[in-house]
Amino acid sequence: MKLWGGRYDVDTDALMHKLNASIRFDQRLWREDVQGSRAWAQGLHRAGLLTDEELAALLEGLAQIEAEWEAGTFALHPDDEDIHTAHERRLHELVGAVAGKLHTGRSRNDQVATDVRLYVRRQLDQLDAEIRTVQAALLAQAEQHIDLLMPGYTHLQQAQPIRYSHWVLSFFWMLQRDRERLRDARSRVNVLPLGSGALAGHSLGVDRTFLAEQLGFEAVSPNSLDAVSDRDFIVEVLAAAALLGVHLSRLAEDLIIYATREFGFVRLDPRYTTGSSLMPQKANPDALELARGKSGRLIGNLTTLLVVLKGLPSTYNKDLQEDKEPLFDTLDTLHDLLPVMAGVIETMQPQPERMRAALDDAMLATDLADYLVRQGVPFRQAHHLVGRAVAEAEARGVPLRALPREVYARIHPALDADLSVVFDVERAVDAKQAIGSTGRDAVQVQIENARRALQAT
């Protein structure tokens, strides 16, 4: 039974049916399709288009369909093109000819748009909770190891000493922005297209405001032409998800590097590593490598939909059927990935001795320049003078603190002093107390702000 077959007197080519059908992937919308159909039936009843008995029959049949899906007994038919066809067919089997009234004034165009919005709304709420779990794991690491120092890097070269907690929290704030983007997108997801018909709206008196209230939508789409073709909300979700994937990839990359034997800054729990089929000693960071690799998949899904949309004429076109697979794949990927990343972070163990051993006097060169600035030397000159000291220390093969006092005095008279205060790593780190810095008090403020961000949900 095809919902559009009235004008045809030949069967669809079998290969065309296979190409055209979406049931293999859109069946996951069953819950939302039942939900939307229930609201539409009630809207038809309020408009005087269904009797009390007809509404009761339709609602009973929809409840039976819902129960069959819940029990895993709903049987798809080979001719079911999509979830809408499958449900209308089954409803007809359950309640008879009255099933044909459910589609009154409704098109698959506004029906699927409604289903997808309901589905995405529910998925975004789940994603928010999963991202929050990763954030909570990061925050716990920061709280437990607030005084642990490590090298900070730019260009993957040692730069300045920082707190491990400060490094961990940098990813907390990336994920916080991801949550904010997805929440912002949710407000545009939560707009009702149902009642737009195929493209022109309907003339049957079904109250769209009532439908929005029944389905929990915050707004009603203002233009029926736009409503049936609008996939901006999916693009926004895929874009936010792609950026979330990039952030997870960056975190994974840092941890992959820090977990190497050469760095040894963190130790990964064996539950999140795998071995080698050839080399018995290996513990590969596969969870993190998959996080890094799947970022490409998430970016690709965004690109796919943008290309699908870029040349479409107005209103609904069958191309829009291609919106679901990249959407579903992105959501599935993140639902798989985020709990694993939370587990990696919860169980990883920082290695203080290795981090401390990697700290070098050269990382305090900027602090030495700041010392000169406090003596009245212009920074640009101070930078040049400290560069000379660094070159001298490298030539002698000694750390900066081991350069003789007379060498420093020769570079600049202001350096003819006890510089031990400059080469105190803890003091240098804690001197950075500006908002967002790596000093202890500043990091403690970050931790408190992070706690509030999690409690605000």
Per-residue pLDDT at 89 exceeds 50: yes
Torsion, Cα of 349, 352, 357, 361 (10° steps) = 120
Q: Look over the chain and give the mean of its residue pLDDT values, rounded to a whole number.
A: 95
Torsional sign, CA 394, 396, 402, 406: negative
Per-residue pLDDT at 70 exceeds 90: yes
Q: What is the pTM of this model?
A: 0.94
Which residues form the catalytic set?
155, 276
Strand partners for 274: 284
Q: What is the DSSP string of 367-389?
A: HHHHHHHHTT--HHHHHHHHHHH
H/E stretch holding 350: strand 349-350
Query: CA-to-CA distance for 386 and 384, rounded, in angstroms?
Result: 6
Q: What is the pLDDT of residue 29?
A: 98
Quick check: helix, strand or coil at residue 266? strand
Q: How far is CA 283 from CA 34, 86, 269, 276, 344, in A?
A: 47, 48, 10, 7, 14
Query: CA-to-CA distance for 317 and 311, rounded, in angstroms?
Result: 11
H/E stretch holding 152: strand 149-154
Percent above pLDDT 90 for the chain: 93
What would the pLDDT profile of 90-123 be if each residue is shown by its tens digit? 999 999 999 999 999 999 999 999 999 999 999 9
CA 16 to chain centroid, in Å, comes to: 36
Per-residue pLDDT at 50 exceeds 90: yes
H/E stretch holding 191: strand 191-192
DSSP state of 274: B
Strand partners for 191: 219
Q: What is the pLDDT of residue 8?
A: 58
Nearest Cα neighbor of 137 from 112, 163, 171, 92 is 171
Q: What is the pLDDT of residue 5?
A: 55
Query: CA-to-CA distance for 273 and 20, rounded, in angstroms?
Result: 42
Per-residue pLDDT at 348 exceeds 70: yes
What would the pLDDT profile of 178-191 be if each residue is shown by its tens digit? 999 999 999 999 99
Strand partners for 154: 157
Q: What is the pLDDT of residue 185?
A: 97
State mean pLDDT over 149-159: 97
Tell me if the domain spanning 109-357 has CATH number 1.20.200.10: yes
Contact criterion met (CB below 8 Å) for 164 and 263: no
Q: What is the pLDDT of residue 277?
A: 87
Q: How many CA atoms lie within 13 A of 297 on its CB side?
A: 17
Quick check: helix, strand or coil at residue 16? helix
CATH of 8-104 among 3.50.50.100, 3.40.50.410, 1.10.275.10, 3.40.47.10 = 1.10.275.10
pLDDT-derived band at 321 (thresholds 50, 70, 90) equals very high
Query: CA-to-CA distance for 400 and 392, rounded, in angstroms?
Result: 9
Q: What is the pLDDT of residue 4?
A: 47
State mean pLDDT over 351-363: 96
Nearest Cα neighbor of 55 from 43, 71, 73, 68 is 43
Nearest Cα neighbor of 151 from 357, 311, 390 is 357
pLDDT-derived band at 58 (thresholds 50, 70, 90) equals very high
Nearest Cα neighbor of 424 from 339, 342, 359, 380 is 359
Q: Domain residue spans in the chain?
A: 8-104, 109-357, 360-423
Query: CA-to-CA distance for 189 and 319, rounded, in angstroms?
Result: 20
Q: Hey, what CATH topology would domain 360-423 get?
A: Ribonucleotide Reductase Protein R1; domain 1 (1.10.40)
What would the pLDDT profile of 379-438 be if each residue is shown by its tens digit? 999 999 999 999 999 999 999 999 999 999 999 999 999 999 999 999 999 999 999 999
Q: What is the pLDDT of residue 1?
A: 56
Residue given tokens 């998925």 in the structure block: 123
Query: CA-to-CA distance for 252 and 198, rounded, in angstroms?
Result: 46
pLDDT-derived band at 147 (thresholds 50, 70, 90) equals very high
State mean pLDDT over 31-54: 98
What would the pLDDT profile of 192-232 be if each residue is shown by its tens digit? 999 999 999 999 999 999 999 999 999 999 999 999 999 99
Q: How many CA atoms lie within 13 A of 126 on its CB side?
A: 13
